[in-house]
Chains A and B, each alone.
Chain A
Amino acid sequence: MSEINLNTYAPNTWCPGCGNFAILNAIKTVLKSLVDEGLPFENIVLVSGIGCHAKIVDYINANSFYSIHGRVTPPCEGIKLANPNLKVIGFAGDGDAYGEGIEHLIFAAKRNMDITMIIHNNRVYGLTTGQYTPTSPFGFKGRSTPQGTKELPINPLEVMLASGATFLSRGTSHGMEQLKKIFKEAIMHKGFALVDVLQVCVTYFNMYDYYDKKVYELKEHDPADYEKAHALIREWDYNKDAPIALGVLYRKEAPTFDNTFLTPPVSGGVDREAKIRELLSEAI
């Protein structure tokens, strides 16, 4: 295992038992193994939004971009466009990615931008002390909805599939080993990868027992099969009582935006001054 020290001096302020610890520990292991396999450590860039999830970048001693609420995806895309050699991993909450910033997520998927989005989906706003999110079940009683929500949750994986994501997966914060596997596959995937982590908020929405009863690990599934992936994604809609599949649900090889969009650098560099003069003389 790599010698790199990923710890920081930032005191960890997550609640004891928080599902974020599993994500933190899993990603640290994965980052170390990627470096062991030859990925230059400085090429790793972590991006987070605002919310409990986002503190993860304070806890990992690596390049990081601690963004604002709802805006994890666009910096990931900007960083990747600026330098396609970078491994860009975005961490976002469900309020962050599926609420305030869902437009960006949809477009990043549509572009098949080669980034990895890890969603800490605890289905509740933690840091703002317990309101419903886009994935809270119908009737969820939060501080802004004391009578229970009157709206159904969205199924983020279905939204992502429809948007053109080329890697969709789900894990839970009770399955660290599986998380490591999924994270690594997601990061290695060439294209837009999303991991929806059913990350439990022990303080405001403790779903450990429920998930433990409902989840099952995918065994024989072929993620290249779009129809089967779609059916699996629809099996549980984040609301009804149904089995919850964990693992890689969908995977597709497709051209990525950063590869197809970027103009290859002009060999020998650009003589900007000469080109400016040329443009000016054309305008006479």
Chain B
Amino acid sequence: MEEFSILIGGKAGFGIDKASSTIAGILNQLSYRIYLYRDYPSLIRGGHTFSIVRASPQKIAAHKNKIDFLLALNQDTLTFHKNRLKETSITIYDSDTVKADDLPGGVKRAAVAIGKIIKEENASEIMRNTCMIGSFCKAAGIGWAILEKVLKKEITKEIDLNLKVARRGFNETSESLKVPPIKQDKLPVLNGSETLSLGLIAAGLKSYIAYPMTPSSNILHFMANVAKDFGLIVMHPESEIGVIMMALGASYAGKKTAVGTSGGGFCLMTEGLSFAGMSELPIVIILGQRPGPSTGLPTYSSQTEMNFAINAGQGEFTRLVAAPSDAEDAYFWGGVSLNLAWKYQIPAIILMDKTIAEGAYSFDRAAAGEVKEETFPAWDRKDRYKRYLVTETGVSPLAFVPGKDAIIKINSYEHDESGITTEDPAITKQMQETRLRKEKFLIQELERYKSVGIYGKTDSDQAILCWGSNKGVSIEVAEKMGLKVITLSVLCPFPVNQFKKAVEGVKKMILVENSATGQLANLINRYGFKVDSNVLKYDGRPFTVDELEEELGRIIK
């Protein structure tokens, strides 16, 4: 068994999320590379929640439809997911609540009386998943010592009882196969929100301000938890309007600040975004995508805010829109975006999606690219300070309050070099050109970075074009099918030069995107490039490896 997938499911409130992290932690102890997909509805109790933990000797960033282990804590899990089972799959179920009569023939089954065990041990309902994890480890031939180690790390409440319950599950299940350990270094398993946060912190973030909204709340929670460790100001204000305006206040006072939200919250922030463009207050805005319009599917994934991120806000101003594609990319572009926002005094938008934000990955920091705090043009104190001094690059030297001997005036109105309101046509023209001139130098600087990635069979004349979380699944399928993969980590300013090089020799380009309209196809069209086919998915669920392979198979003969 080279690689394998485990699905654990139940109702919201069963602790499926924690259970899947624990399983990921156990497989990580065997040095597997992990990808964890979480699928849950927008409710607190009930419904159907499941996670798929995929483990492989190689780095992965996608899950598969087919599974090797089905861990069913309720009947729904078995009913909804039995079509994912293969002949070699193993189903473990709570025989007190689940009937396994209609499982496909050949599927191995292990009935564990979890309900009974819980009663006998006087344990709480939520510990059913601990019992299930015990059963899984035994079935997969994973030793008790590893299970015990990970449970002790993951579970903080009633660890002794949890261990007892896990032991019962372990003892009352028989070994079906032996998942072998891999000989390689272990990597930390983190979700994209966490690696993005670490990238921002490594680049010198000083404050994080956000209003809770899926799929970006994890960033707020992470930042709040580490605020003391890193000396961060972490604030949850009254609304997203409050968020962006408070953040711009902090930016004015010299704190490198980021905010995070999803589409709806970003709508509320757009007036502040435009204000950041005019006032040239640097800011990082994380926009976690989920299906819209409006409330849409709050806990699912999409890639539908590209147009919005690039075009949001009244007026014309320079901005950066980066779109990380996995845990490493989130770390790297988190850091780069913060540095570039301060270097160019622009809003930098980081487009995440639910798949990256909440999915967990084996995080290889060494492969992510170095992130460190960079310097920005600061006032040299020689001449009287002018906040909007016109320069060749369009970037005025920065000073922050309280600046000794500097009067620092920022303004949402058109303004002169000192920041005083003006309606003078010549100054208006000059200042508008100054703000836009920054883009030219930003484009030059972006050449330093890999804004466009090339993967798969790089000499193929057939290429998948993708961005964001579709990179992982696309690479995996492309390697199998002999296709090239072109992926964009920067969407604005559009990396024309790198893109031009990437598409050299490509005769057929297929866009893979989680949208209904193919937004990247329209974007590249503006720069004279063309997509030949679209593979679009807009049901809120990311592509699985098997599904994308099948879809592409129809297009590529």
Chain A contact residues, CB within 8 Å of chain B? 8-10, 40, 42-43, 45, 47, 50, 55, 57-58, 61-68, 71, 74-83, 85-86, 103-104, 106-107, 261-263, 265-266, 269-270, 272-273, 275-276, 279-284
Contacts and interface: CB of A to CB of B under 8 A. Distances in A.
Contact of A58 (B202, B271, B410, B420): B420
A64 B226 CA distance: 32
B412 A50 contact: yes
B437 interface: no
Nearest to B371: A276
Contacts of B250: 78-79, 81-82
A75 B249 contact: yes
B188 interface: yes
Interface stretch (B396-404, B506-514, B519-527): B396-404
B230 A275 contact: yes
Nearest to B408: A63
A86 B190 contact: no
A10 B420 contact: yes
Contacts of B194: 283
A62 B402 CA distance: 11
Given A63-B407, A67-B275, A283-B363, A74 B237 contact: yes
B231 A263 contact: yes
Interface residues of B, number: 63
Nearest to A55: B421
Nearest 4 A/B pairs, CB to CB? A78-B249, A75-B249, A283-B188, A82-B253
A10 B421 contact: yes
B186 A64 contact: no
Given A107-B242, A262-B233, A284-B188, A78 B248 contact: yes
A75 B248 CA distance: 6
Highest count of chain A CB atoms <10 Å: which of B206, B251, B406, B411? B411
B254 interface: yes
B186 to A, nearest CB: 5
Contact of A42 (B226, B255, B363, B404): B404
Contact of A86 (B226, B275, B402): B402
B245 interface: yes
Which of B201, B245, B279, B411 has the most C-beta atoms of chain A within 10 angstroms of its own C-beta? B245
B187 interface: yes
A107 B232 CA distance: 22
Contact of A279 (B198, B420, B421): B198
A74 B241 contact: yes
B226 A270 contact: no
A269 B412 CA distance: 35
B249 A65 contact: yes
B247 interface: yes
Interface string B203-215: 0001101000000
B252 interface: yes
B412 A276 contact: no
B441 interface: no
Nearest to A40: B402
Contacts of A269: 231
B227 interface: yes
Contacts of A281: 188
24 contacts: A61-B407, A62-B407, A63-B409, A64-B409, A68-B245, A71-B241, A74-B241, A74-B242, A74-B249, A75-B245, A77-B237, A80-B249, A81-B235, A82-B252, A83-B402, A103-B238, A103-B241, A103-B242, A104-B242, A107-B238, A263-B227, A280-B188, A283-B194, A284-B187
B73 interface: no
Contact of B402 (A74, A78, A85, A280): A85
Contacts of A58: 420-421
B28 interface: yes
